[in-house]
Amino acid sequence: MGTYVVRRLLLMIPTLLGILLLNFIIVQAAPGGPIDQMLARFEGMQGASSTRLEGGGGDTIATSESRGARGVEERFVQQLEQQFGFDQPAHERFITMVGNYARFDFGESFFRNRDVLDLMIDRLPVSISLGLWTTLLVYFVSIPLGIRKALHHGSRFDVWSSGLVIVGYAIPGFLFAILLIVLFAGGSYWELFPLRGLTSPNFDELSLFGKIKDYFWHITLPVLASAIGSFATLTMLTKNSFLDEIHKQYVLTARAKGAGDRRVLYGHVFRNAMLIIIAGLPSALIGIFFTGALLIEVIFSLDGLGLLGFEAVMQRDYPVIFGTLFIYTLIGLILKLISDLTYVWVDPRIDFETRES
């Protein structure tokens, strides 16, 4: 197994390089880079200044200011290119970026004047909080529901519950988030939950119980919106796993010896059926943390990694874009490896080395 782990770790290097290179090419080809963003801000300030001058004293001053602005703009562009490193060829910039990332040096944000790693560390607790509670909610609901569906396979409960989870799976998380806002966050009906943020402005002034209450009051709708699409997969996986174990010979033997249904379920079936569900937890975390969190954080204005990445894309903040991409990819690859190791841990009969060879 050690050889397999080393091989997977070594394969992470070309995988990371390939993903970074592909996205580097795409981002470089996209119009409206950081230089254009800075020029747009600069021209906006110059336009506002010229408007004030025109209103106060005539067109001559405004025209001279405009010409001066065009002269400054050329020098300003050259300064920006040197500051951001765009005076170097693209391949040199990519090689430099990869070398820095190998030391976990992600540089400084173009527009926030802060180190990218510090920005990600500040935003990470919000994303972890959202992903953790979403995962707990999904597992605490889906596993008991899947077990009951297996025990009542083919019943009316099984049919209508399957319909509900499939409908939930078909609804995109961001659309369900908008529906929750309309219904429960003051959109058109009830104002039961806050619209944005993870805490209230007076959070520091609250008591310990008040802080806990305020925190869960804010995170309820984002967690529900994040979890809606994950119930179906885990519920059906649990049901099928238990159905497969219930019809095996050892269960029939236990019942023939007089064991009750409860003892058979929790003494024999539960342990074996849960192996594949436990082993699939790292893979589930990948989907919950990195797939659905972005739009949910944007909609509810949660200062997590998803919102940070979205704002970076809109502003063409390249260091933040590539830094978050690198971290997301690295964590995803590590969790995938952990998922494979968990399968081997819960079922020693699985041998990835033999399968690969």
| CATH code of residue 198 | 1.10.3720.10
| Phi, psi of 23, rounded to the nearest 5 degrees | -70, -30
CA 21 to chain centre: 21
Which residues face 191 on adjacent strands?
185
Q: Is residue 115 part of a domain?
A: no
Confidence check: pLDDT of 45 > 70: no
How does the average pLDDT of the chain come out, rounded?
A: 77
Mean pLDDT (whole number) for 158-174 = 86
Note whether residue 235 is domain-resident. Answer: yes
**Contact between 305 and 123 (Cβ < 8 Å):** yes
In this structure, are residues 138 and 288 in contact, taking their beta carbons and an 8 Å threshold?
yes
For 292, the domain range is 123-313
How many beta carbons lie within 10 A of that of residue 337, not counting itself?
A: 17
Asked if residue 132 is part of any domain, the answer here is yes
Torsion of CA 341, 345, 350, 354, to 10 degrees: 50
Q: Of the ranges 83-92, 233-242, 290-299, which is most confident? A: 233-242
Indicate the residue type of 289. F
Asked whether the beta carbons of 234 and 139 are under 8 A apart, the reply is yes
- The DSSP annotation for 306-350 comes to HHHHHHHHHHT-HHHHHHHHHHHHHHHHHHHHHHHHHHHHH-TT-
From the list 110, 123, 115, the residue with the least C-alpha distance to 297 is 123
Residue 2, in any domain of the structure: no
Whole-number pLDDT of residue 251:
75
Mean pLDDT to the nearest integer, 184-193: 76
Record the tokens describing residue 53, joined without a space: 């001058």
**CB of 225 within 8 A of CB of 185?**
no
Q: Would you state the pLDDT for residue 28?
A: 77
Q: How far is residue 135's CA from residue 290's CA, in Å, rounded to a whole number? A: 12
Report the distance separating Cα 171 and Cα 123, nearest Å. 27
What is residue 66's predicted lDDT score, i.e. its pLDDT? 37
Tokens read off for 26: 């795409």
DSSP structural state of residue 203? G
Q: What is the pLDDT of residues 65-108, one digit of tens each?
A: 433 444 445 666 777 677 767 778 888 888 888 888 888 888 88
Q: Is residue 337 situated within a structural domain?
A: no
**174 against 65, higher pLDDT:** 174
Contacts of 253 (CB under 8 A, 6+ apart): none
- Classify residue 22: in a domain, yes or no: no
**Domain total in the chain:** 1
Give the pair of three-digit tokens for residue 74. Answer: 């050329």
Residue 16 covered by a domain: no
d(CA 13, CA 2): 18
**Count of residues for the chain?**
357
Distance from the Cα of residue 326 to its chain's centroid: 13
**186 within a domain of the structure (yes/no):** yes
| Tens of pLDDT, residues 13-29 | 898 899 889 988 888 77
Take residue 123 and report the two structure tokens written for it: 């935003």
